Amino acid sequence: MADYILAIDQGTTGTTVIVLDEGLSVRARVNREFRQIYPKPGWVEHDPEDIWTSVLESVQAAVSESGVEPAQIKAVGITNQRETTVVWDRATGKPIHNAIVWQDRRTADVMAGLKARNLEDMVRQRTGLVLDPYFSGSKVQWILDHVDGARARAAKGELAFGTIDTYVLWRLTGGQAHKTDVSNASRTLLMDLQGQSWDEELLGIFDVPAEVLPQICGNSEVYGEVRGIPGLADGTPVAGMAGDQQAALFGQACFEAGQAKCTYGTGAFLLMNTGATPVPSKNGLLTTAAWRIGQESAYALEGSAFIAGAAVQWLRDGLGLIKDSSQIEALAAQVEDSGEVVFVPALTGLGAPHWDPGARGVIHGLTRGTTAAHIARATLEGIAFQNADVLSAMQQDLGESLSGLKVDGGASNNNLLMQFQADILGCPIVRPEMTDTTALGSALMAGLAVGIYSGLDDIRSHWKADKHFAPAMDDAARQGHLERWRRGLARV
């Protein structure tokens, strides 16, 4: 009887579940979207019960669609939207507040106050991160400060905090496992990056009691067993767990220092494996834990653009220029270029390397000749330009040029965007056969933990490329495009 792995990819707008065989052939893929909640400008929330419902429905549907018997599923992997924060009652499992999403900016004033106390250098040195509302620490603090009685209950050990990996694991195991992994813990502003443990001084800075924290684990080990989940057999081990971007780096088989990937999802996330030692950034990037497998750790440099695929969704939902996100490539292809239009998609601030939470989106260069096609093309170019800024910072930190980039995520299927990305970066791009590499990474970690895969070389042998994009733009044209982008950035 064949062995299978089920991977839960709990993302910002929905949950995707895939069922894979050990040769990485996909037997089923199911997605369920859920509500986005915007209580105030700059605030973004999810109802954790909506998230959990999307997980349950996706798991049931994927197992049914796959035709696989629950007993054939030998392991479950989890990957997740990082930084999004949930606090719940340990006794009932009920959240005490909506989840505060990674995009949420409500704690910008808290971060400004910490910067005014000259804490940024210490925090960066300890965590590899910057003081920005993006991360979990100030989100936990906000929930404990704004829910009646929460602080007293937290001190008594009645409440549990987790990023979404921890919350989903808790629910899958019937409340038996309160754990996270090093990749997610490294995104909280509460973990010492080198020691991979919760840091007492940082907990004091953010006023987060240790009693609410999950146990920090590696990325490929048995965290607990499934209990009472329709479609899965009780006792199935949950054995792989990683934040979505680190999972994608693993799923792209970027196991060696210097290898890099970019995931195009709601945002765009570029990570480079830097090996067993954290590399501090002097150019606005983050230093993050990539994974820990057994006793071996890997770290990464990361640059994130908060808005990528979300810009296309905005064209669809906000402006009505397209009816479906997949239509943007055909619309953008109606024109040879953007007609000098620049779209800086800073709809929720600017991420790395700029880190400007107050920035707002700009469409620059409009004329009476501008059409919907020009705006569509400028949107795709804006996504690519943001990544070029990140890569430039990354190359400065490393002191060397990138020889190639692996890509994944929904927008990586857009050939026009991928070709422009290769052109503006001046390096070749490789797209894999399977672009759900966030889910794939967690599945591989789970399979490794239960012995389906013997090691990294075994995993690497299964990775397959789909398409290569070679840069076809000369340097003068590239520099002209980048100068146009810089003029747009100056106006945010």
DSSP string computed for 47-60: -HHHHHHHHHHHHH
CA 159 and chain centroid, separation: 26
What's the CA gap between 398 and 419, in Å, rounded? 25
Q: What is the pLDDT of residue 406?
A: 95
Distance of CA 456 to the CA centre of its chain: 22
Identify the pLDDT of residue 282: 87
Q: Is 135 exposed, middle or buried (0-12, 13-18, 19+ CB in 10 A)?
A: buried
**CA distances (Å), origin 285, targets 128, 226, 288, 396:** 9, 37, 10, 10
Domains in the chain, CATH or no CATH each: 4-245 (3.30.420.40)
Residue 37, strand partner residues: 45
The pTM score is 0.87
- pLDDT at position 421: 96
Task: Give the pLDDT of residue 1.
Answer: 63
Distance CA 206, CA 287 (A): 20
Largest pairwise CA distance in the chain: 65
E strand intervals along 131-283: 159-163, 179-181, 191-192, 197-198, 215-217, 220-225, 237-243, 260-264, 268-275
pLDDT one digit per residue (tens) for the chain, 492 residues: 689 999 999 998 899 999 999 889 999 999 999 999 999 988 999 999 999 999 999 999 999 999 999 999 999 999 999 999 999 999 999 999 999 999 899 999 999 999 999 999 999 999 999 898 989 999 999 999 999 999 999 999 999 999 999 999 999 999 999 999 999 999 999 999 999 999 999 999 999 999 999 999 999 999 999 999 999 999 999 999 999 999 999 999 999 888 899 989 888 989 999 889 898 988 889 999 999 999 999 999 998 888 898 899 999 999 999 999 989 999 999 999 999 999 999 988 887 788 787 889 999 999 999 999 999 999 999 999 999 999 888 888 877 777 789 999 888 999 999 999 999 999 999 999 888 899 999 999 999 999 999 999 999 988 889 999 999 999 999 999 999 999 989 888
Torsion angle defined by CA atoms of residues 374, 325, 268 and 491, in that order, rounded to the nearest 10 degrees: 30
Amino acid at 34: F
